[in-house]
Every structure is written in structure tokens, then in C-alpha cells.
Amino acid sequence: MAMSKISKLLVLILIAAHEFIYAQQKAIFIILDGISADALEKVETPAIDAIAKAGGYTRAYTGGIRDAYNQSPTISAPGYNHVLTGVWSNKHNVWDNSIKEPNYHYWNIFRIAKHAKPDMKLAIFSTWQDNRTKLIGEGLEAAGNFKFDYAFDGFELDENQFPHDADKQYIFDIDENVSKEAARYIREHAPDLSWVYLEYTDDIGHRYGDSPEYEKAIQLADAQVGRIRDAVQIRQTQFGEDWMVVVTTDHGRDPQTGKGHGGQSDRERTVWIATNAKNLNGRFGQGTAAVDIMPSLLRHLKINPAEEIVRELDGVPFNGAIAVANASATLSDDGNKIELNWSVLEGNSKPEVFLSTTNNFKTGGKDNWQRMKNQSATPGRCTIDVSKYPSSFYKIVVKSRNNSINTQVLKNN
Ligand SMILES: [Zn+2]
């Protein structure tokens, strides 16, 4: 009897230890369309607040770096794709909602996840089908013949079930449908990585601008987030899974009326991120960008993309250890020197600097990266002698032990 009790206890301890050590990492990101940070902060949003309370909330920027080579429009589809790919429009090549020629050489998070761990279960719940068929490029050879394990979308094309009305009530109904199914599916199946996209807030923003109607729409979206959060909480408590939740938006709104977006005003460029992640680092709340979400989710899922992908990522993880961020470079007039600057976020490691005069990655090829001497004694800056590599274009990577950042520089004429 005693032995059996002890062995039963042992088994229980082993199970608990196993769950503790091997708690399954899961992640979900939710994009609520077109909610300016000021509006979100003004309106009562208990579900988003609860997520942020477990981790954090910050404003962030979208649209690339203003006036730089990677400046990107504050438009929906480019905004989603910044989140999906961790790079700006100059790389993923989505400039508007027509998504004419996305550059699939810059892999999205789902493709990277499936490639790294083919057993991962991936899901999308979306009020806009183009997110799956065009941005992700599901089933397209050029996009890696990627396939979701579960997709719930396309209802905006079903005018029988969701007759279109001028007030866009049907979009709200689809958001309801999508968020309810996301909650059900997560509760029952817990996909490893999911994207939920809800649209109604942007439609109301376009129609009414800054208004009580818009604020009401934000509250309705928050309730939809709450539904999904409840499902995640059930998984966490009943199954001991380790979930990272990110809620964000794709762009802000124009400063005059709030009806439009697409430009480069602060208000249009300002987005926000709420997450339950507990291991936030110095990047969160300091220069945080929409492109940071993708590498942060990958980090939570313990996925390390291939080095050539990492070298291209414009985002920096806002969880876990990082050392460097915000690379920028200028080329001297004679073309012999590059002045390179970056932010030193943590630690005093001396990062490695790599240089390429080609951009073959953009067309699916390989670049010839040269390791350059970083002799600078000043943390966060160095001068690179490029006289041996004459070129009108340079890609530069600053690689620390914990993360890599990159920038580009073009010769003036
Ligand atoms: Zn949008």
C-alpha cells in the first residue's frame, strides 16, 4: 500500500514537472483595424486592459521610418503585412489594399513557423479573405505552398448570409462570427499560432470619424477580444499552456477628422500593442514598432528563423534578451566610409558588423555578406571603411549575441 501511494505520488510529481518544463508555447495575435492610440486610451476597454495588465501596453510606430528608404503607407494591407513579415513595404512590397505583387521572398510568420516545425497547427480567423489568399498567399507556389490547418474567413463574400448594408452592420456581424469561432476553436483545439483579424472599427472610423459611434465600435471590438481572451485563459488554467497574446492595430487615423488614414502624420503612424508577455525588455515602450511583433511571437514559440531571414528583419523582439536596435547609416560624399549608429539597449557587448553590396535576397538569391572591422570604442557607433567595396548601395547588419538589426544606405547620385 505504502509503495503504491509513493509511486502514485511520484507519477504525479513527474507529470507536474513535465508540464512545468514542457509547457506548450502557443501564440495568438489580434489586429483590430484602424484604432488610433488616443481613441483606444480614451475608451473603456476592459479586455485589452486585462491583457496589458498581465504584460504591458505601449504605443508603437508603423509606416517605417519617416522620410527614410523604408517609409511605408499607413494603409491597412501594408499594415497587416508589417506585422506578418516583420519588414516594411520596401521589402514585402505591399503598398495598398490591392496587394498587387507581394514579395514572398520575405517570409511571413506562418511560413517560418511551418518550415521550422512542420507539426505546428496554424489558424486564421478573419473578416477579410485577402489576408489569407493574398498576403499569406496560401497555396501559391511563390509563397511556399503554405497551407493553414484551419481557416475561418470569406464571409464578406457571402451576401446571402451577410447581406451588405451601407452602415456596415454586416461587417460587425462577421466580426462577431469570426471572434466567436476563434474563441470556440482555441478553447477546443488550441492551435499553436493564430491570427484574428476584425474590421468593423475602421469602417465606422471612415464613416463617422472621431465620434461616439467610433468609440462605441472600439468597445464592441474589445468585447470580441474578451471572448478570445476567455478561451485562452481556459487553455492556460486547464491545460497549463503558455500563451502569448498580442492585440494591435494596423494604423492610426488622420489628425483632422479621424475619417481617413494613409499619410505620415504622427497620429496615422501611431499604433499600439497590448500583450500579456511577462518578459518584456527595453524595446517595449521605447521605439517599439509594428514590425517587432513578428520576431517577438517567434521568440515565444522558440522558433529561430534562418540567418538570412534574421538579417532582413526590420523588427526587434520586445521580449527576452536584446542588445541592439535602431540601426542607421550615412555614406560619406567620397563613398569611402559609412558612419553607422545604433541604440545600445542592454549589455555592453561589441556587436559584429556585416556588409553586403548586393540585394539578391529580394529576388530569392543569396547575398555575399562581408564581416567588417568594428574598431569603435564608442558603444552604438562605428565607422566602416568601404573603399574596398565600391558600390552605390549597401546593406548593413549589426549582429549582437541576442539579436540582429539592419539598415541600408544609397549613394546620392
Ligand atoms: Zn486599416
Nearest to 284 by CA among 325, 324, 319, 247: 319
Expressed in angstroms and rounded, the spacing between residue 406 Cα and the centre of ligand 1 is 27
Expressed in angstroms and rounded, the spacing between residue 250 Cα and the centre of ligand 1 is 5
Alpha-carbon distance 268 to 73, whole Å?
9
289-337 confidence digits (pLDDT tens): 999 999 999 999 999 999 999 999 999 999 999 999 999 999 999 999 9
Query: What pLDDT sits at residue 376?
Result: 73
Distance of CA 36 to the CA centre of its chain: 17
Expressed in angstroms and rounded, the spacing between residue 194 Cα and the centre of ligand 1 is 19
DSSP 24: P
Which long-range contacts (C-beta less than 8 Å, at least 24 apart) are formed by 210-214? 210/39, 210/253, 210/257, 210/258, 211/258, 214/39, 214/258
Nearest to 330 by CA among 394, 404, 266: 394
100-125 confidence digits (pLDDT tens): 999 999 999 999 999 999 999 999 99
Distance of CA 386 to the CA centre of its chain: 33
Residues within 5 Å of ion ligand 1, judged at the Cβ atom: 33-34, 76, 202, 250
Expressed in angstroms and rounded, the spacing between residue 97 Cα and the centre of ligand 1 is 9
25-68 confidence digits (pLDDT tens): 999 999 999 999 999 999 999 999 999 999 999 999 999 999 99
Expressed in angstroms and rounded, the spacing between residue 262 Cα and the centre of ligand 1 is 9
Tell me how far CA of residue 271 lies from CA of 33, 40, 57, 80, 407, in angstroms: 10, 10, 11, 12, 22
DSSP 280: B
DSSP 134: I
DSSP calls for 306-347: -HHHHTT-----SBS---EEEEEEEE-TTSSEEEEEEEE-SS
- Residues 6 or more apart whose Cβ sits within 8 Å of residue 66: 264, 269
350-400 confidence digits (pLDDT tens): 899 999 999 999 999 999 999 998 777 788 999 999 999 999 999 999 999
Expressed in angstroms and rounded, the spacing between residue 33 Cα and the centre of ligand 1 is 5
Give me the phi and psi of 142, to 5 degrees please: -60, -25
* β-strand partners of 11: none
Expressed in angstroms and rounded, the spacing between residue 275 Cα and the centre of ligand 1 is 20
Show the domains of the chain with their CATH numbers: 24-310 (3.40.720.10), 324-410 (2.60.40.10)
Tell me how far CA of residue 378 lies from CA of 349, 381, 397, in angstroms: 11, 6, 18
Expressed in angstroms and rounded, the spacing between residue 94 Cα and the centre of ligand 1 is 13
253-271 confidence digits (pLDDT tens): 999 999 999 999 999 999 9
Q: Evaluate if pTM is beyond 0.85.
A: yes
- Residues 6 or more apart whose Cβ sits within 8 Å of residue 289: 60, 61, 62, 314, 315, 316
Expressed in angstroms and rounded, the spacing between residue 407 Cα and the centre of ligand 1 is 27
